[in-house]
Structure 1
Amino acid sequence: MTAPAGAIFGTIGALAAFPLRLAAREVARQHGELRRGVTRRTTHVVFGRALLVKAGLTKTGDVEIERRVAAERGAGRALLSENGFLRLLGLMKAPEASSLSRQSLIDQSRLPGADLDLLSLFDAFEHDSEPYSFRDLILARKYAGLVAGGATWGAIARSVHRSGPVASLTAKSLAVGSAFGRPDAIYLDGGESELDGQLLFDLGASDDDPLEELFADAEAAEQGGDHDGAAALYQRCLAIDPGDPIAAFNRANCLRAGGHPAEAAHDYARAIKLDPAFVEAWFNLAGLMSEEGKTASARRHLRKAIALDSNYADPVFNLARLEFDAGELLEARRLWARYLELDSESEWAGVAARGVQFVDMQLAKSAG
């Protein structure tokens, strides 16, 4: 099996099973792209298992994973587990023959569908998606019992990957650790031993790990509002990997939010130089130029963003507003009408509709 030509893969969380640089090399050989993070061009999202480890350190970590999974699925992107990604690239052999559908597994195991999907996404089964195998059914029944006992999908997935090969769990008895003071852990044989031991894949063994940790820390700082700290961390990422356009883009966003427009413009330009089709970078650079009063540059950058992605509604709206301010009423009307084709329900759609009405009234007055 090979990846579809032209596929754009984005990773969320560090890969535990395979160095990112080697995966990127193989994806490129198969005429695709692999980047950290997700952009509008991303077609496939790979959820790295190291994300589970970080999620286990906070009370809301698993909830954040669920939110991100729902967002990427809602955006229409294909979601892949690490194993699913490696199988797609032909770097991992497919497990035994399988014939069970997702719904059949749910019906026979009583495992909630949402938990099944998340456990599959983090390789808690032999198969990362349907069709599933009989071994997967055995595992699903065990996991369903753990969920009924109060375990979360995240606790199960983290414990599973401390145990060794997933298939080895089919012959073992599992129990939630609540009775032993560890509700976040899964125990073997009635609590006699915790399901831990060596990690299935040693997260510290990858050459990419320092960079992956830095990138994850930078994202966390950015999400927490520490823009200067995040910018410094993204700069360290770029020192290690100068060719990462997403690190440059994210740093630009942090610099812009932190009140450093000149440096932000430099890093947006850097991201665009590294990836000329990076539409979000063109859009954000246009926004920065508009804030700086450089409307001619802003209009050029917005037109470029629209040329790259004609279904990206935000630059259409912003360009309409700039054209209106410049007195180009017909062009503003055309763009607002186009925006309404892309978005007819949001608050901004109401603004666009009123813009069209206003221009029509002005044109009617002129004609009268």
Structure 2
Amino acid sequence: LHQPEKAQESVLAEELVPGRTLLAKAGLSRNGDAEIERRVAAERAAGHKLLSENGFLRLLGLMKAPEASSLSRQSLIEQSRLSGAELDLLSLFDAFEHDAEPYSFRDLILARKYAGLVAGGATWGAIARSVHRSGPVASLTAKSLNVGSQHGRADAIYLEGGQSELDGQLLFDLGSAGSAGDDTLEELFAEAEAAEEGGDHDRAAALYQRCLAIDPSDAIAAFNRANCLRAGGHAADAAHDYINAIKLDPAFVEAWFNLAGLMSEQGREASARRHLQKAIALDKNYADPVFNLARLEFDAGDLPEARRLWVRYLELDAESEWSRMAAKGVQFVDLQLARTAG
């Protein structure tokens, strides 16, 4: 068994590990990526489980697993607009923090960026090869990337503003002097995240605002700033930034959910209800807005609707403390409805 980073295809029982050497060689051939797609489909049809290199190393205990995550594959597809095939192939070649579901919020940020590149003409293979020349995958969450067609080249990807180009093999040129603006953005974003994690919400909000000044199209920075403003007691400004995040990315389900929570805190139940319903419509497997909407309907006296929503929540989450509360809610409504019928 060869080391995964050197092997083109390694075997562990019924598990296969397509190596990055295979990916790199595919970039030298016109139909290389299509051949990988064919081989991956054939192995899966044969009942083999495919692991990424990082997944293989984690299986052997040689690599630490990333932070806890909760996003399903379907949720990532719906929220990012990547196709299932693109998501699976990018995961197989470690273009995300996690190599399989459940994915993290950072993975969602990356998926949205990759979807933008695909929409601009990039292929999954070009993106995957680029990622492995860029350093840690997480560092890309703070970078803005564009396909080079706007610069007259369809076979290149540029950092925001065109300061730094990806070469003919679509490899990120992140170390050049021309990428200083993006380095500044990445450093600012990381500093903002650290301040947020440390509870310094006012400073974090100011840093996220600087990120937005550099890249006004960054829905993630707007969302994070809104969270910091909300935590710091600046409700009106927080609402403005949640709305800004939604304008930048109408499918940003967490922004709809958090805006609903803010509206609920302010006693604006009708607005909270609309935003929760939107979040549920965007991601039918996102349990939290279902629970909160059930609670709103219960408080409004619509017991049958509250019961329906709590039952739905239990279908999505049967293990947590919230599920126990939902089960008690169903029992309570059943008792109330039985008394009314009697």
TM class, shorter-length: 0.5 to 0.7
Determine the C-alpha separation between the residues in 2 that align with 1:72 and 1:261.
36
Counterparts in 2 of 1:251 and 1:317: CA distance versus 1, 3 Å: same
- The aligned amino acid for 1:75 is Y
Structure 1 residues without counterparts, runs of 5 or longer: 5-37, 48-67, 95-118, 124-199
Deviation of residue 70 (structure 1)? 5.8
Residue 103 of structure 2 corresponds to 75
Determine the C-alpha separation between the residues in 1 that align with 2:99 and 2:341.
48
Residue among 224, 246, 255 paired with 1:250: 224
The C-alpha deviation readout for 1:252-308, integer Å capped at 9, x for no partner, is: 000000110000000000001111111000000000000111111101100010011
Residue among 41, 44, 56 paired with 2:79: 41
Residue 296 of structure 1 corresponds to 270
The DSSP-based 3-state class of the residue aligned with 1:41 is helix
Counterparts in 2 of 1:291 and 1:71: CA distance versus 1, 3 Å: farther
Counterparts in 2 of 1:71 and 1:356: CA distance versus 1, 3 Å: farther
Deviation of residue 41 (structure 1)? 2.5
TM-score by length of structure 1 reads: 0.51
Determine the C-alpha separation between the residues in 2 that align with 1:209 and 1:315.
36
Determine the C-alpha separation between the residues in 1 that align with 2:249 and 2:129.
33
Deviation of residue 204 (structure 1)? 5.0
Determine the C-alpha separation between the residues in 1 that align with 2:312 and 2:330.
10
Higher relative contact order (Cα pairs below 8 Å, separated by 6+ residues): 1
Is this contact kept in 2: 1:39–1:280, CA < 8 A?
no
Residue among 306, 323, 328 paired with 1:349: 323
Q: Which stretches of structure 1, 4 residues or longer, exceed 6 Å deviation after superposition?
A: 76-80, 91-94
Q: Which deviates further from its counterpart, 203-212 or 217-226?
A: 203-212
The C-alpha deviation readout for 1:196-241, integer Å capped at 9, x for no partner, is: xxxx962654142111211111111111111111100010111111
Determine the C-alpha separation between the residues in 1 that align with 2:325 and 2:192.
36
The DSSP-based 3-state class of the residue aligned with 1:237 is helix
Determine the C-alpha separation between the residues in 1 that align with 2:77 and 2:189.
16
Residue 272 of structure 1 corresponds to 246
- The aligned amino acid for 1:263 is D
Determine the C-alpha separation between the residues in 2 that align with 1:290 and 1:260.
15
- The aligned amino acid for 2:79 is R
Deviation of residue 90 (structure 1)? 2.5
Residue among 88, 95, 98 paired with 2:124: 88
1:112-131 to structure 2, matched below 5 A, reads none
1:214 maps to 2:188:
yes
Residue 366 of structure 1 corresponds to 340
The DSSP-based 3-state class of the residue aligned with 2:207 is helix
Determine the C-alpha separation between the residues in 2 that align with 1:93 and 1:253.
34
Residue 183 of structure 1 corresponds to none
Determine the C-alpha separation between the residues in 2 that align with 1:337 and 1:287.
21
1:130-169 to structure 2, matched below 5 A, reads none
The C-alpha deviation readout for 1:310-346, integer Å capped at 9, x for no partner, is: 1100000000000000000000000000000000010
Deviation of residue 71 (structure 1)? 9.8
The C-alpha deviation readout for 1:141-195, integer Å capped at 9, x for no partner, is: xxxxxxxxxxxxxxxxxxxxxxxxxxxxxxxxxxxxxxxxxxxxxxxxxxxxxxx
Structure 2 residues without counterparts, runs of 5 or longer: 1-32, 38-75, 137-172
- The aligned amino acid for 1:295 is E
- The aligned amino acid for 2:175 is D
Residue 175 of structure 2 corresponds to 202
The DSSP-based 3-state class of the residue aligned with 2:233 is coil
Counterparts in 2 of 1:319 and 1:266: CA distance versus 1, 3 Å: same
Determine the C-alpha separation between the residues in 1 that align with 2:77 and 2:228.
17
The C-alpha deviation readout for 1:112-138, integer Å capped at 9, x for no partner, is: xxxxxxx99968xxxxxxxxxxxxxxx
Indicate the percent of aligned positions where both proteins have the same amino acid: 65
Give 1 or 2 for the bigger CA radius of gyration: 1
Residue 132 of structure 1 corresponds to none
- The aligned amino acid for 2:302 is E
Determine the C-alpha separation between the residues in 1 that align with 2:211 and 2:242.
16
- The aligned amino acid for 2:187 is E
Is this contact kept in 2: 1:238–1:244, CA < 8 A?
yes
Cα RMSD of the aligned pairs, angstroms, is 3.8
Is this contact kept in 2: 1:283–1:301, CA < 8 A?
yes
Counterparts in 2 of 1:276 and 1:365: CA distance versus 1, 3 Å: same
TM-score by length of structure 2 reads: 0.54
Residue 255 of structure 2 corresponds to 281
